[in-house]
Structure 1
Amino acid sequence: MKIQKKLTGCSRLMLLCLSLELLLEAGAGNIHYSVPEETDKGSFVGNIAKDLGLQPQELADRGVRIVSRGRMPLFALNPRSGSLITARRIDREELCAQSMPCLVSFNILVEDKMKLFPVEVEIIDINDNTPQFQLEELEFQMNEITTPGTRISLPFGQDLDVGMNSLQSYQLSSNPHFSLDVQQGADGPQHPEMVLQSPLDREEEAVHHLILTASDGGEPVRSGTLRIYIQVVDANDNPPAFTQAQYHINVPENVPLGTQLLMVNATDPDEGANGEVTYSFHNVDHRVAQIFHLDSYTGEISNKEPLDFEEYKMYSMEVQAQDGAGLMAKAKVLIKVLDVNDNTPEVTITSVTTAVPENFPPGTIIALISVHDQDSGDNGCTTCFIPGNLPFKLEKLVDNYYRLVTERTLDRELISGYNITITAIDQGTPALSTETHISLLVTDINDNSPVFHQDSYSAYIPENNPRGASIFSVRAHDLDSNENAQITYSLIEDTIQGAPLSAYLSINSDTGVLYALRSFDYEQFRNLQLKVMARDSGDPPLSSNVSLSLFVLDQNDNPPEILYPALPTDDSTGVELAPRSAEPGYLVTKVVAVDRDSGQNAWLSYRLLKASEPGLFSVGLHTGEVRTARALLDRDALKQSLVVAVQDHGQPPLSATVTLTVAVADRIPDILADLGSLEPSAKPNDSDLTLYLVVAVAAAARWHMSSACWCLTGMQSSHFVGVDGVRAFLQTYSHEVSLTADSRKSHLIFPQPNYADTLISQESCEKKDFLSAPQSLLEDKKEPFSQVNFSSQSADITGVSCGACTEEYIYLSNL
C-alpha cells in the first residue's frame, strides 16, 4: 500500500509538470492588455503570472523578466503579486501621436527555458487635451464684389486626443453674411469652410468680426476658439492661379539644411497691387511649419531642420497664393522622404553564458540575441552571422531574435576560450553593420591521460652506486588543466630475483626522479626492466605506463683471477721444465687468467715483473705465454724464478701476480745429477720431494721415449733428494712432466702433441688398475700406457690414463 501511494504521488507531480509545460506552450501566443493613459506609476495592468501559467513566486525563480529595446521601460513586474504594472506615468500622445490603436509591444523572457512570450499593451486615450488653433487671430480681406457662395477655407483645429476625445465639430458665431460648412477630408480631418451667404458692402460694414469654435467629444467637452477679422476691399476680379494644382517631390532624408526642395508658382493677370502675389502655408501641422520654410515672394520651399524618415515618411502641406487685393488660390504640396541607410543595426545581448564545460553536447545555448534596424525596406532588413571557423551557429527565432548555440563538442585542449564576434548587417547601399563580442570560457574535464615524453626509457647506473642516489627521472605531461593535469608517479610493483622492486628502487611521486635504495653489482645482475605509472588527479583519475630499462654499468672492482697455474692449497710452488737445448721462443708454459668485470675492465695484459735471470724469459703481452728470450747457457742456474703480473685496463687498473719456478735441464738424468748434490730429507714425511718423485720422473721419461715398460724396485729413498716447494711442468714436443713438492702426491703428465692453449679437466679421466692389464698390452708399443704401480718401502706410484684427454697422469703417493 505504501508503494502504491508513493507512485500515485509521483504521478501527480509528473502530471502537474506536464500541465505547466503545456500551459507555457499554449501561452506562446500574444498576451494583450490595456491601460488608460496618465495612470499613476505602479498601476495594475494585468496578471502576467496567471497568463503564463506560473505562480507569482516562480517569476523570480525562473528568471522571468521584461525584454524590450530602445525606449525607457514603461512597465515592470511585481514579483510578489505576479502582476504587470506601470513603471511611470504614460502619455499616449507622446507615444503614438494620432495613431490608433496605441500599442506598446515587448517580450516576456522565461530565462530557464529560454522562451519569449510577446505582450501587447494598448494605451487607452483620455480627454486630456483641448482643441487648439495654430493662430489666435486670422485676418484676411474680401472684395466687395465677391459673389455669394464663395468658400473661404479656415484653419482647422488640432486635438491631440483620438477617437471621441478628438475634435468633433466646429461652430461659427452668428453673422448675416457668412455661414460655416465643414467638409470631411479624404485624409481624415474635418476642413471648416466659411461660405459667403450674401454680397458684401464695404460702405455698409468694412470689417466683420467672427469667432470659430472647435469642440471635442469628450466628457466633459473641451473647446478652443479662433478670432476672425474680415476686411472688405474694393473689387479685384482676377484671383491668383497656380501653375499646378498639386506639387510632388521625393527628397532623401539626409538632404543638407537650407536645400531648395521645390518652388511653387502662381500668377495674377491683374495689375498693380491686385497682381502682386504672396505665398503662405495654409492649414499645415505645427511640426511641418517648424521643418519647412516658404519664401512668401518667390514660393521657394526649403528645409530648416533635418528630415528623418523614421519620424515622417510623407509631409503634406497646402500653399496659398494671395494677390494684393486679397484674392487667393491654393495648391497642395506633397514631400515624400526617401529612406537613407543612416541607421546601423542594433544588437542586444538579452542573455549570455560566459563559461561552458568542454563535454557539453552540440546544441548547447550560449546566448540570446536581438537585432533591430530603425531604417525601412532593405535598409532595415538585417542578417546576423558569426565567423564560419568557430564551432557555433546562430539559430533564427521570432521577432528578429537569435540564439547562439554550439555546433559541435568543444575541446579545451585545442582552444580554451573563444571571443565570438557577432555581426549584424543590413541590406542597404552601402550596407551598415554592427559588431558585438561574447567571451566564452571552455572549462576543463579530465579527458586526457598523462603522456610520457618518450615511448620508453633507458637509463644507466654505475655499479657500487651509493644508496639513495638519484639515477634517472621520467617526465609526463597532461593536456588537461588544474587538478586534472597534476601528475603523480609510481612504480608498478614487480619482483627482482625474488625480492620486491620497492626494495631496489623508489620514485618521487611529484618529480618522477628515480632513486636507488641499494648498491647494485654488475656481476649480480646487469639490467632491470620496470614500468613507471603516471596518474593525474582528476575524477576519475587517468593514468599511463612507460617501460624503463635500467642498465648497470661495470666498474673495475674485480682484480684479475689466475686460473693457471693454479695456486696449490698447501703453499707449494709450481715448477716448469725447460731443456737447455731450447731455442729462443721456446714455449715454457702459459699463464691463464680471467676478470669478472666486462669491457675494458676485463681486458688483460701480461708482463714479466721479476726474474732471477733477467733477459732469459719473456711473457706475451696478450697471450700470457712464457717463452725463452734467448738460448739457454750452461752457466744458467738450474732453478729460475719468475714473477708474472696480470693487469686489467680499468681505471684504476687492478692486477694479480703469480710466481713460476722453471727447472733448466736437457734430460731427466741431468735433473737427477743436479739434485744428487742436495742433502736428503731427514724426515720421510717431510715436504721435500724424495725418492718417489725422482723415480716417477725417470720412469715417465723412460716410458715416453722408448715406449717400453720398466719397473723400479728395491731402490732406497735415500738415493734421491727432494726439491722444496716445486711443482713443475716439462713441456716439450713429445712429453711433459709435472713434479710437486710439499704434498703427499705428485703428477707425471704425458701429453699427446703439445696444445699450449688447451686446458684439460682431470674429472674427464678414468682411473684403471694397471696390475690387472694383460702382459701383451704392456709389451705392445702402439698401445698407450694406462697405469703403473711402483711399490717400494715407502712409496706407491699409480698411473692414470685419460682416454678422452690428451694427457696421461702418474700419481706418486707416499704410503
Structure 2
Amino acid sequence: MQRNWDLKGIMLIWWTIATALKMVAGQIRYSIPEEMEEGSFVGNAAKDLGLDLRELSARGVRIISKGRTQYFALDLKNGYLYINEKIDREQLCGHVIPCLLNIEILADGTAKLYAVEIEIQDINDNAPSFLNKEILLKCSETTVPGTRFILPKAQDPDVGINSLQSYHLSANKHFALDVQTGKDGLKHAKLILAKSLDREEQAGHHLVLTAADGGDPVRSSTVQIRVIVLDANDNAPVFTETVYKVDVPENVAEGTIVLVISATDQDQGTYSEITYSFIEITEKASKIFQLNSKTGEISVIGNLDFEESELYEIEVQAEDGGGLTALSKLILQVINVNDNIPEISISSFVNSIKEDSPVGTLIALLKVEDRDSGEHGQVVCSIPNNLPFQFNRSFGSYYSLKTDKTLDREQVSEYNITITVTDKGTPPLSTIKNITLQISDINDNPPIFDQTSYSGYVTENIPLRTSIFSITATDSDCDQNAKVTYSLMEGRILEIPLSSYISINPETGVIYALQSFDYEQFKELQIQVKAEDGGYPPLSSNVTVTLFIVDQNDNAPQILYPSLPTDGSTGVELAPRSSEPGYLVTKVVAVDADSGQNAWLSYHLLGTKDSGLFTVGLHTGEIRTARSFLDKDIVKQNLVIVVKDNGQPSLSSTATLTVMIADTVSEMVSGLSSLSAPADTEANLTLYLVIAVAVVSCLFFVFIIVLLVLKLHKWKDSTLFESSDANFHAVPTSQFLGIDGVRAFLQSNSQEVFLTTDSGKSQYKFPSTRCSDALTNTQTSAQQDFFLLSDDSDNKDQILVQVSL
C-alpha cells in the first residue's frame, strides 16, 4: 500500500512539473496522467495564454474540442482548465505514443483561437490478459524433445514499462518456456518440449502460464495450458501460403468472406483432419474478423474503419487430428473508401446584423472536417454565388463567413445561407448546413407618397368635420422606422391660417374640413402635407395636395340693370309709339356669382298688361317690341322680368320695368301723371309736373328758334368745324330718369330729351319718330348738338336737350 502511495506522489510531482511546459508557435502544452478524477486541475490556461480574467465572460471564451466527448472544461472565474470527464488513455490512443489531445480555446468577441495540446501519460491500470482462459495443446508421444509450441500472446493495452514484460511457466519436468523479443519490442512465448512424453505414463499435463507487466506495482494474469498426449503423428499440416495478403474495403458489409485459408496433411484418418484457429490476434481484430475452424473462411463481423486502423496482422494455426500444427500469417490491408461525409460545426455565429454593417463583417466561424484520409478527406466549401457573402478558409480547418457587399434590408430582410461542403472522394460526399441571417433595419428610407402630387374636388358648403381627401405614404423600413405620421405644413388662405380651414389625421392621412368652403371666395386650395417616419433621426417627405372647390348653386342672379331703387322711385323706360317691331326698348343686365352652368342665365317675361306687346331675349335680356303700337295700347306698360340660373335647383331674381309709350310730350306727361307714387309726395309731384309741362311748352318754341339760328350759324362756319380738333361725345345710350321717386334707365334714341325731377325741378326727354336702330346713320350721328337750358345757373336741376339733324 505504501508503495502505491509513493508511486502516486511521484506521478503527481511529475505531472505538476509537466503542466508548466509550453509549446512554441502560440501553443501551450500540459501533461497529465490518465484516469484523473473529474474536476482535477490541469493548468492555468488564462495565465498561460495571457488572457485577462475580467474579459473571459465578456469575450465569450469557450473550449472547442474534437470529438463528441468534452474531456476538459474552462472555469471562466479563475481561468483554470479542469478535467470534465475521466480519460482512458488506452481507449483514446491505444498503443500510440505519445497520446495527445488537442483543444482550441475560442474568444468569440475577438475571433481569436488558442491551441492547447494535452499529453495523456499512461499509468499501469491494465494487467496483461489472454484471449482464452485455457490453451489446449495436443502433442504426440513421438514428438522429439526440443519441439516448440507457439503460445498465444497476452494483450496489455498499456504502453512502455507498463506493458507486457515477461512470461513465467509453472514448474514441471517435461516442458520449458522460451521467451523472445521481436523487432517490434513485443515478447513472444513458446513452449519447448524438454523431455519425451509417454502417453501411457501420463496422458495429459496441466501447466500455468503467467504474463506480467513492468509497472509498479506489477500486474499479471494467468492462463491454463492443457497438454494432451496423442499417439504418433508423423506429418504436420502445411499451409498453401506462408503469408496471406488481402485488401479489404473499409465499407465491406458484415458477413462478407474476405479470405479462405487452406492447409493440407499427408496423414490419413483423424490425423489428416485439420482445424483452423487464430493464434495471435488483437482484441479489436477479434471483434472484426471471424475464422471458420472447419472451412478456413475468414469473414467480417464488425465495422472496418480505415481511419482507426489501416492494417491487421493475424497469425493462424492449422492443427491436424494428431496434434501437429502449422502456422501462417494473415495481412489484411484496409482500403480507404470515401465513407465519411464532411462534418460542419459552428464555432461562432451572429444571427442578426445591421444593414449598414461594413463590408467584411464576420458572420460565422465554422469548422469543417472529414474523417477520411487522403483525397477523400479533402473538402471544397461553397455558398451560392448570388449571395452578398464570401466563405473562405481562415486557418486550419476553420472557415469564416463574411459580408462581401453592402446589405439592404428593404431588398432582402433575411438570408438563408446554404453552406455546401463536398469532399474529393469517389463518389464525392457532401454535407449541407443552412444558416439563417436576419438583417436588422436602420432608418435609411424616408416615407414615399404613392403619387408625386394629389388633386381632388371638394364641394363648397360641406358640413364641418367632413372627410374631403385621403393621402397615403409608405416607408420601406420596418417597425418604428416605418411608422408614418402626417402633418400639415404652414400656409395661409385669404390671410387666414390654413389650419383654420382643414386638419389631417396624423395616423391615417385623412384630411378633414374644419369649416365650409365658399367657391366665390377661392377656387382652389393648395396644401403641403408632410409625412415623417418614427426613426431616429426621423426622415420625411412632402407632397402638394390641390383641392379644387366645386361650385354649388348657392347664389341667385344679381340684377345690375335696372338697379334696385334707393329712393322709392320706379324705373321708367320710354318707347316711341311709332316704334317698329323689334325695337330695342332696354336691356336687363344680370350676373351670377356662381360658375359653370350655375351661372348660365336665362331671361323670361313674367307679366305685362298687354301680352304679346314685348319680348325678352332668352339669353341676352334685351326687351324689344313684338309688334307695332296701336292707339288702343295704354301708355304705361309694367313688365316683370325673371332672371333664372341653370343650377339644380334653379335660383332666380325679378326686375320690374315701366315702359311709357308716347310720341308727344303731352302724351308722355299724361302717362307719367298716372304713375303711382307714395301717398306723402303725390300732391307735390302733381304740382311739379304741371309747372314743368308749362315751362317746357314755352321753352319748346324758344328752343326751335334758337336751334334754327344755331344751325344757320354752324352752316356758315362748317369749314372751321371740319378743321377743328374738337371732339363731341355722344350721350350714353342709357340715362337714369327718376320720376315720382322711381328710378329708370332710359334707352337713347337718335333724338333724346332727358327729364329728371328732383325737389320740384324736371328734366324731359323727347323721343323722335325714328327708332334706335337709326342711330347708325352717319349723317345723323355727325350732326349732334347739345344745349343745356336752366332756370338758374346755380340750380342743380337742369333740362338737357339733344337734337340730331
Identify the TM-score tier after normalising by the shorter chain: 0.7 to 0.9
Give the CA deviation at 1:232: 5.1
Q: Distance in 1 between matches of 2:277 and 2:706?
A: 164
Give the CA deviation at 1:36: 0.6
Alignment of 1:536-685 (within 5 A): 536-666=533-663, 671=668, 683=684
Q: Distance in 2 between matches of 1:182 and 1:169?
A: 8
Aligned to 1:29: 26
The one-letter code of the counterpart of 1:370 is K
Aligned to 1:391: 388
The one-letter code of the counterpart of 2:217 is P
Aligned to 2:331: 334
Give the CA deviation at 1:449: 0.9
Q: Distance in 1 between matches of 2:71 and 2:37?
A: 12
Give the CA deviation at 1:292: 2.4
The one-letter code of the counterpart of 2:746 is F
Which among 457, 465, 472 is matched to residue 460 of structure 1? 457
Q: How many residues align?
A: 746
Task: State the identity %.
Answer: 51
Instruction: State yes or no: 1:493 paired with 2:490.
Output: yes
Q: Distance in 1 between matches of 2:492 and 2:24?
A: 73
Deviations 1:662-685, CA, capped at 9 Å, x for gaps? 222455676478789999997489
Give the CA deviation at 1:165: 0.8
Q: Distance in 1 between matches of 2:256 and 2:504?
A: 89
Aligned to 1:789: 789
Aligned to 2:729: none
The one-letter code of the counterpart of 1:582 is S
Alignment of 1:7-18 (within 5 A): none
Aligned to 1:511: 508
Alignment of 1:192-231 (within 5 A): 192-195=189-192, 210-231=207-228
Which among 711, 725, 729 is matched to residue 746 of structure 2? 729
Aligned to 2:432: 435
Asked if structure 1 preserves the Cα contact closer than 8 Å seen for 2:176 and 2:193, the reply is yes
Which among 240, 244, 248 is matched to residue 247 of structure 1? 244
The one-letter code of the counterpart of 2:388 is P
Q: Distance in 2 between matches of 1:683 and 1:613?
A: 30
Asked if structure 2 preserves the Cα contact closer than 8 Å seen for 1:647 and 1:653, the reply is yes
Q: What SS does the aligned partner of 2:610 have?
A: coil
Alignment of 1:682-693 (within 5 A): 683=684, 688=689, 690-691=692-693
Distance 1:242 1:723, change over 3 A: closer
Aligned to 1:474: 471
Distance 1:516 1:798, change over 3 A: same
Q: Distance in 2 between matches of 1:81 and 1:793?
A: 128
Aligned to 1:129: 126
Give the CA deviation at 1:335: 2.1
Q: Distance in 2 between matches of 1:730 and 1:710?
A: 30
Give the CA deviation at 1:304: 3.0
Distance 1:468 1:208, change over 3 A: closer
The one-letter code of the counterpart of 1:643 is V
The one-letter code of the counterpart of 1:124 is Q
Q: Distance in 2 between matches of 1:192 and 1:89?
A: 35
Aligned to 1:256: 253
Q: Distance in 2 between matches of 1:160 and 1:677?
A: 153
Give the CA deviation at 1:70: 3.3
- Uncovered stretches (5+) of structure 2, i.e. residues with no partner: 1-22, 714-737
Aligned to 1:82: 79
690-699 or 526-535, which deviates more: 690-699
Q: Distance in 2 between matches of 1:578 and 1:611?
A: 15
The one-letter code of the counterpart of 2:304 is L
Instruction: State yes or no: 1:529 paired with 2:537.
Output: no
Aligned to 2:271: 274
Q: Distance in 2 between matches of 1:508 and 1:696?
A: 83
Give the CA deviation at 1:610: 0.6
Give the CA deviation at 1:621: 0.4
Give the CA deviation at 1:185: 3.4
Asked if structure 2 preserves the Cα contact closer than 8 Å seen for 1:396 and 1:402, the reply is yes
172-181 or 157-166, which deviates more: 172-181
The one-letter code of the counterpart of 2:784 is P
539-548 or 428-437, which deviates more: 428-437
Distance 1:648 1:340, change over 3 A: same
Asked if structure 2 preserves the Cα contact closer than 8 Å seen for 1:619 and 1:625, the reply is yes
Q: Distance in 2 between matches of 1:465 and 1:145?
A: 135
Alignment of 1:713-792 (within 5 A): 724=740, 725=742, 727=744, 729=746, 732=749, 734-741=750-757, 744=761, 746=763, 748=765, 784-791=784-791
Aligned to 2:344: 347
Asked if structure 2 preserves the Cα contact closer than 8 Å seen for 1:788 and 1:797, the reply is no
**What is the alpha-carbon root mean square deviation over aligned residues?**
4.0
Distance 1:195 1:615, change over 3 A: same
474-483 or 642-651, which deviates more: 474-483
Aligned to 1:321: 318
Give the CA deviation at 1:34: 0.9
Give the CA deviation at 1:129: 1.7
Asked if structure 2 preserves the Cα contact closer than 8 Å seen for 1:491 and 1:531, the reply is yes
Q: What SS does the aligned partner of 2:395 have?
A: coil
Asked if structure 2 preserves the Cα contact closer than 8 Å seen for 1:32 and 1:120, the reply is yes
- Uncovered stretches (5+) of structure 1, i.e. residues with no partner: 1-25, 712-721, 759-779, 802-807, 811-815
Asked if structure 1 preserves the Cα contact closer than 8 Å seen for 2:102 and 2:115, the reply is yes
Distance 1:574 1:135, change over 3 A: closer
Aligned to 1:771: none
Q: What SS does the aligned partner of 2:104 have?
A: strand
Distance 1:541 1:152, change over 3 A: same
The one-letter code of the counterpart of 1:36 is P
Give the CA deviation at 1:617: 0.9
TM (normalized to structure 2)? 0.82
Q: What SS does the aligned partner of 1:435 have?
A: strand
Instruction: State yes or no: 1:44 paired with 2:41.
Output: yes
Distance 1:647 1:356, change over 3 A: same
177-186 or 325-334, which deviates more: 177-186
Q: Distance in 1 between matches of 2:111 and 2:376?
A: 29
The one-letter code of the counterpart of 2:211 is A
Distance 1:229 1:462, change over 3 A: closer
Q: What SS does the aligned partner of 2:92 have?
A: helix
Q: What SS does the aligned partner of 1:318 have?
A: strand
Give the CA deviation at 1:809: 9.8
Give the CA deviation at 1:274: 3.4
Give the CA deviation at 1:702: 6.7
Give the CA deviation at 1:58: 3.6
Q: Distance in 1 between matches of 2:126 and 2:66?
A: 29
Asked if structure 2 preserves the Cα contact closer than 8 Å seen for 1:612 and 1:640, the reply is yes
Aligned to 1:291: 288
Q: Distance in 2 between matches of 1:350 and 1:122?
A: 24
Asked if structure 2 preserves the Cα contact closer than 8 Å seen for 1:747 and 1:809, the reply is no
Deviations 1:172-214, CA, capped at 9 Å, x for gaps? 5567776544444355533223455677677787756655443
Q: Distance in 2 between matches of 1:704 and 1:535?
A: 88
Aligned to 2:114: 117
The one-letter code of the counterpart of 1:33 is Y
153-162 or 558-567, which deviates more: 558-567
Asked if structure 1 preserves the Cα contact closer than 8 Å seen for 2:603 and 2:644, the reply is yes
665-674 or 85-94, which deviates more: 665-674
Aligned to 1:100: 97
The one-letter code of the counterpart of 2:602 is S
Aligned to 1:813: none
